[in-house]
Amino acid sequence: MATPQRLQTVRRIQRAMATAYAGLGAWCLLHSYSVVALGFTPRYVAMSNETTHLLMRCFGAQAMTCGLVLGTSEMTAFSFTAFGLAMIPYIGWNFWFSGVGPARGMINSLMWLDFFGNVFFMGGSLWCAKVLKEGANKKH
């Protein structure tokens, strides 16, 4: 049931996701060298160059934009569902570049935090969508 407490939890999850996106995006934008050094294996860190850091900064700027939109939008059940399902490629990326794909060994074990974050974003979004759907069904 969509109680006021559960609806408040939906907004807290939304704010947490927005803060994470904007904060981590700012880190990628402003300190790309530390992100590359912490997230990739030494072999790939050694191959990084200015293009690598430009792309990391572009990724950070996009993440900050996503955090801004997520933090200022009135999310619906549909938008939470879409956002949650949009996490699937990111979860796949974590597996592809860390263990199963031809680029395995590119990211280090610290990047598993990214995997768990993406799972939280997906699960949290789908839970929020469920709560909002329950609230909409209760009104009708």
- 18-61 pLDDT, tens digit each: 999 999 999 999 999 999 999 999 999 999 999 999 999 999 99
pTM of the model: 0.87
Q: Is the pLDDT of residue 139 over 70?
A: no
pLDDT band at 1 (very low <50, low <70, confident <90, very high): low
Mean pLDDT of the chain: 92
- Residue 107, helix vs strand vs coil: strand
Radius of gyration of the chain (CA): 17
| 118/124 Cα distance (integer angstroms) | 10
User: pLDDT: is 139 or 113 the higher one?
Assistant: 113
Q: What is the mean pLDDT of residues 86-104?
A: 84
User: pLDDT: is 49 or 102 the higher one?
Assistant: 49
Residue 132: what pLDDT? Answer: 96
Residues whose CB is less than 8 angstroms from the CB of residue 35 and which lie 6 or more positions away in sequence, other chains included: 27, 28, 56, 60
Q: What is the mean pLDDT of residues 82-105?
A: 86
Residue 53: what pLDDT? Answer: 96
Cβ proximity of 23 and 70 under 8 Å: no
Cβ proximity of 36 and 54 under 8 Å: no
Long-range contact set of residues 50-59: C-beta below 8 Å, sequence gap at least 24? 56/28, 56/32, 57/28, 57/29, 57/32, 59/25, 59/28
Residues whose CB is less than 8 angstroms from the CB of residue 135 and which lie 6 or more positions away in sequence, other chains included: 2, 7
| 12/61 Cα distance (integer angstroms) | 23
Q: What is the mean pLDDT of residues 65-71?
A: 96
Residue 140: what pLDDT? Answer: 55
